[in-house]
Amino acid sequence: MKIGLLQCDHVADELAELHGDVPDLFLNLFRRAAKDLPFDVSIDIFNVMNGEYPDLSVPHGNGYDGFIGSGSRFSVYDQIDWILAFKKFVKKLFAAEKKFVGICFGHQMIAEALGGACGNSARGWGLGTREVVIRRPMPWMKPALNAYRLIVSHADQVDTLPPNAEILGGNDHCPCSMYMAGSHFLGIQGHPEFTPAFAEDLMISRLERLGAKVIDDAVPTLKESTDEIVIAKWILNFFR
C-alpha cells in the first residue's frame, strides 16, 4: 500500500532528537500496524509548509492508495499562505475522489475546506488519553471496537460538519471526534501516531501556554492503554 503523508508541522528540534519528526512518528505507527498484515506499507512525505504536493494529474495519482494530513500547532482558520494553499489542495482531493484521512489539524481542515467550521473549544484543551464512543460502526472498522482510546492534543475542534458528512464517534469533550465526509474523507481528532513519552514531553514544552494544572491532570492518563494500532489498521482498511 502506498500512502502520501501531507506534513503540516515539524516536531521542535529538542523533542525531535528524542522522538523523531512528524514523518518518523507516522512511519513507526504503520510499521507496527503492518507487522501482521499481508501487504507492505510505504509512505512518501510531502512537506506542504514548503509547497510540496503530489501531482494528481498523473494517472491514478501516482498510485497512492490514500493521503494523510498530519497535525499542526497552527489553526486551520489561520490566514497563512501555506494553510490557504493546503485548504485548496484538500478541496482538490475531495473533488478528485481521492481517499484522505485527516489527523487533528487534518481532521479540522476537512471541515474548513468543505464548508464546515472549526473554532477554539469552550471546553478547554483536550489533552492526554481520551475515550471515543463509536456512534456509527463502518465495515472498515476491523478489528471492531465499541469505543477506542487515543492520545489527544488540541484546543480547536470541529464545530460544524461540512455537507454530506456524518459523525462516527465522539465524547462529551469532543462530540465530533471522528467523522466521514462523503465516502472517501475521514477525520480523526486524536493522534494515533503519538507515543506517551512524546505526548508528555510535548506538554511539558508548552508549560507556559497550557498551565501546570492542565498538564498535571493529563499526564497520569498517558499510562492508560490506547488503541493506536487498531486505529492505524482502520486507516489502512479505509484506504483499501
- The structural domains of the chain, with segments of one domain joined by +, span 2-239
Transcribe 155-171 into DSSP letters.
SEEEEEPPTTEEEEEE-
Q: How far is CA 72 from CA 33, 43, 50, 107, 195, in A?
A: 23, 19, 14, 11, 16
Largest Cα–Cα distance in the chain?
Answer: 52
Report the pLDDT averaged over residues 143-148. Answer: 98
12: cell is: 521542535
pLDDT value of position 28: 96
Look up cell 489539524; give the residue. 105
pLDDT band at 60 (very low <50, low <70, confident <90, very high): low
133: cell is: 464512543
Report the pLDDT averaged over residues 38-50. Answer: 93
Report the pLDDT averaged over residues 31-49. Answer: 91
Asked whether the beta carbons of 158 and 187 are under 8 A apart, the reply is yes
- Residue type (1 letter), 178: M
Report the pLDDT averaged over residues 211-216. Answer: 94
pLDDT value of position 204: 95
pLDDT band at 181 (very low <50, low <70, confident <90, very high): very high
The domain at 2-239 falls in which architecture? 3-Layer(aba) Sandwich (3.40)
Report the pLDDT averaged over residues 12-34. Answer: 96
Exposed, middle or buried, 227 (CB in 10 Å: 0-12/13-18/19+)? buried
Query: Annotated active-site positions, please?
Result: 104, 191, 193
Closest CA to 3 of 71, 54, 79, 78: 54
pLDDT value of position 212: 94
Higher per-residue pLDDT: 238 or 60: 238
Per DSSP (E only), the strands in 59-182 are: 66-69, 100-103, 117-120, 126-134, 147-154, 156-160, 165-170, 178-181
Q: What is the pLDDT of residues 182-209, one digit of tens each?
A: 999 999 999 999 999 999 999 999 998 9
Q: What is the pLDDT of residues 61-73, one digit of tens each?
A: 568 999 999 999 9
Report the pLDDT averaged over residues 221-229. Answer: 97
pLDDT value of position 57: 77
pLDDT band at 58 (very low <50, low <70, confident <90, very high): low
Q: Taking the CB of residue 184, how many other CB atoms lie within 10 A of it?
A: 17
Three-state SS sequence of 175-198: CCCEEEECCCEEEECCCCCCCHHH
